[in-house]
Amino acid sequence: MSFVIGLDIGAVFVKAVLLTEDGRTVCWREKSGKNYGETAERVRVRLLEVAGESTGDCRGVAVTGCGAGCLSFPGQKFNEMVCLARAVSETAGSCAVLDLGGQSCRTAALDEKGRLSAVAFSEKCASGSGNVLEKAANVLHVPFEELAILSEGANTPVEFTVSCAVFMESEIITAIANGKRPQDIAAGVHMAVAQKICAMLSKAHQEALPVVASGGAAADAGVIRALEGLLGRSVTVMNAPQFTIARGAALSALDQVHST
């Protein structure tokens, strides 16, 4: 069975999606490590093993992300936001797209035809990204996947005053030293991240649009709960949100196959 591969080589994870001509989807990801190119090759090989496919049936490889230039095998580069729009437009119409990545947060408006506008990026402090959540989970000694469960038990969420991810970690440690409950700290972190994201939506005048979230941090239900509370409406999370951009890359590769 012929297939295409989409690779999203990010600062934290290398994500890969394999799409077959009959619609089967296989995903794989690994920590990016110190050598993006080596990790991407390892992910590609593992993806083929998991999918039970052979290299000879590959019709195209599309690559995006900050490490796209490090690829050690042939692949066509695509813009990350274009890949994001391609994946989201499969299931959503006009909406505000939130991409909650490991090191940054991005927002954009997407029209009914899948065209992007009003793209905005978070500053380099990473305060609206998964980096803050990972730091919080590490300091609180819980797996990242359990941070949302922990925050459900909050009584009085801690108010964090800084927006930088590094100083946020310091404030979390201070809150622990001051005897704050882990549940309240986790809920406070979720609220701080959500407030940062809402500020980006407001700045780009996207508050009125339906909201769709992607990226690894979108898998944290605590952030989504906080977002929904601040926005006063539901937020749709993409299926396997950490693979959204990689899927968009694979779809872009598939588009090219069909156009030739």
The predicted-structure confidence for 79-128, as pLDDT tens digits, reads as follows 999 999 999 999 998 999 999 988 788 888 999 888 988 788 876 555 55
The amino acid sitting at 18 is L
Domains annotated for the chain, with CATH where assigned, are: 3-79+243-259 (3.30.420.40), 92-237 (3.30.420.40)
Q: Cα separation of 193 and 126, whole Å?
A: 10
Cα dist from 32 to 68, 144, 217, whole Å: 12, 17, 16
Least confident of 59-63, 127-131, 143-147, 197-201: 127-131
* C-beta separation of 40 from 6 below 8 A: no
Angstrom distance (rounded) from CA 246 to CA 16: 6
* CA quadruple 25, 146, 183, 134: dihedral sign: negative
Residue 34 has pLDDT above 60, yes or no: yes
pTM: 0.92
- Residue of 43, 58, 52 whose CA lies nearest to 5: 58
The residue ranking higher by pLDDT, 162 or 134, is 134
Amino acid 97: pLDDT: 93
Q: Tens digit of pLDDT for each residue in 195-224?
A: 888 888 887 667 778 999 999 999 999 999
Which two structure tokens, joined as six digits, stand for 83? Answer: 């890949």
